[in-house]
Amino acid sequence: MKTIYLDNNATTRVAPEVAEAMQPFFGELYGNASSMHAFGGQVQKALDAARGHTAALLGAQDTEEIIFTSCGSESDNTAIFSAIRAFPDKRHLVTSRVEHPAVMNTLRYLQAQGYRVTFLGVDGNGNLNMDELERAVGFDTALVSLMHANNETGVIFPVERAAEIAKAKGALFHTDAVQSAGKIPLDMRKSAIDMLSISGHKLHAPKGIGALYVRKGTPFVPFMMGGHQEHGRRAGTENAPYIVGLGKACELALANLGAENARVKGLRDRLESGLACKISNTRINGDTANRLPNTSNISFEYVEGEAILLMLSDFGIAASSGSACTSGSLEPSHVLRAMGVPFTFAHGSIRFSLSVYNTSDDVDFVLSKMPAIIERLREISPFGKEGAAPSCKGTGSRSPA
């Protein structure tokens, strides 16, 4: 069966060029980068090149600002714990209510340990209120951690401005750029951001590799203690094949930032407007003018997201839903709840996330299957009989949050 993968915010396929670049490091290039002999030297050279490609994607001033980690979650944890250890007298942290669990649950843990944590809300479009941020940050704030782009809706936070607000009060600023890296430009040289997390498996490198950007001069305390690797900032013998893979993926992502991402945006927009045109009672979740180019979070009123996913899966189409089946109850995601998405829409939300490997045929195929899926599910839903006409204006109907 033909398969169509539209779940690239969950994870991506490893690019063939990345797999090829990694291969020698499972074979003849097996040295330890720290060794003084030629085996080590060859690997060290490859790690230096990978650090250069990663720094280039982020627009870092210096390659030494890049620390390789095992994943995005480790990068986020490293940034958060570094900030509180660097400023032991500051007991306040600021974040948002729509963060990924890698940040959200770490800050909830610290809250339980006695830290004061401010969780900033978002409006109906998923945007932050910058005045609220300004009021929240104080001279006792150790860290402001705000994601760059939301994994569920793709909505982009103005992290450059947020970093300036944090710095004005002496707080450090971290951003989780796991979803934005490689999809929209990043330029650390033009920004006040202190720390920034990325993850390999969201940009066509394998799972199990990430990086943390730490601006030169930022107070830093390692998360992983031990050896001197990564300039003493992350102990553990370097995972050479995966670091090389991340470097290659960053090189490819930088090359694709312009034309390829514009093509992906075109596909996403056609998918979205096609669905809104063919299906009644739809709603795009998130600010359509301020989103990642690859992400569409769309709700179909009166149907369950999980049921849609199962029927899509029967046709070989992979996407994800905005509700999580936890403890036997279908709770809409914390992101859609924070945005105030009405209950009947929140339950029927689907996230389509595209990549450079998607084609126009993929979009046509989804558009050919979705109307019948939604019609069928609404037929068997006790609420699904009524309905407004589909909207062919491009973005579907928008309900006030």
Contact between 330 and 312 under an 8 Å Cβ cutoff? The reply is no
Candidate residues 53, 90, 100, 204; the one interacting with ligand PLP per rule CB under 6 A: 100
The arrangement of strands across the sheet holding 92-96 comes to: 66-69, 210-214, 195-199, 172-176, 141-145, 92-96, 116-120
Contact between 290 and 158 under an 8 Å Cβ cutoff? The reply is no
Binders of ligand PLP in range 151-210 (CB under 6 A): 151, 176, 178-179, 199, 201, 210
In angstroms, what is the minimal distance from the CB of 348 to ligand PLP?
Answer: 22
d(CA 69, CA 85): 19
In angstroms, what is the minimal distance from the CB of 106 to ligand PLP?
Answer: 11
Query: Which range in 65-73, 222-230, 264-272, 347-355 contacts ligand PLP by CB under 6 A?
Result: 65-73
283 vs 351, beta carbon nearer ligand PLP? 351
147 vs 212, beta carbon nearer ligand PLP? 147
196 vs 303, beta carbon nearer ligand PLP? 196
Using CA atoms, how far residue 143 sits from 122, 132, 165, in Å, is 19, 16, 11
Beta-strand pair 195-199/172-176: parallel
Contact between 319 and 365 under an 8 Å Cβ cutoff? The reply is no
d(CA 175, CA 173): 7
Q: How many residues bind ligand PLP (CB under 6 A)?
A: 14
73 binds ligand PLP (CB under 6 A): yes
Query: Which range in 70-78, 247-255, 326-334, 393-401 contacts ligand PLP by CB under 6 A?
Result: 70-78
Query: Which range in 72-80, 111-119, 138-146, 227-235 contacts ligand PLP by CB under 6 A?
Result: 72-80
Query: Which range in 69-77, 128-136, 231-239, 253-261 contacts ligand PLP by CB under 6 A?
Result: 69-77
Burial class of residue 10 in the structure, from the number of CB atoms within 10 Å of its CB (0-12 exposed, 13-18 middle, 19+ buried): middle
In angstroms, what is the minimal distance from the CB of 295 to ligand PLP?
Answer: 11
- Measured between its terminal Cα atoms, the distance across the chain in Å is 40
10 vs 86, beta carbon nearer ligand PLP? 10
11 vs 63, beta carbon nearer ligand PLP? 11
In angstroms, what is the minimal distance from the CB of 377 to ligand PLP?
Answer: 27
Burial class of residue 383 in the structure, from the number of CB atoms within 10 Å of its CB (0-12 exposed, 13-18 middle, 19+ buried): exposed
Q: Report phi then psi at 195, rounded to 5.
A: -140, 145
In angstroms, what is the minimal distance from the CB of 69 to ligand PLP?
Answer: 9
Distance of CA 336 to the CA centre of its chain: 16
Distance of CA 49 to the CA centre of its chain: 25
Catalytic annotation, pick one of 71, 250, 277, 325: 325
In angstroms, what is the minimal distance from the CB of 281 to ligand PLP?
Answer: 28
Query: Which range in 47-55, 71-79, 307-315, 363-371 contacts ligand PLP by CB under 6 A?
Result: 71-79
Q: Which residue is nearest to ligand PLP (CB)?
A: 72
In angstroms, what is the minimal distance from the CB of 218 to ligand PLP?
Answer: 20
Contact between 200 and 241 under an 8 Å Cβ cutoff? The reply is no
147 vs 311, beta carbon nearer ligand PLP? 147
325 is catalytic: yes
Listed residue (397, 355, 39) closest to 205, CA to CA: 355
**Helix axis angle, 259-278 to 240-256, nearest 10°:** 70
191 vs 320, beta carbon nearer ligand PLP? 320
Interface residue list for ligand PLP (CB under 6 A): 71-73, 76, 100, 102, 147, 151, 176, 178-179, 199, 201, 210
- Just list the catalytic residues: 325
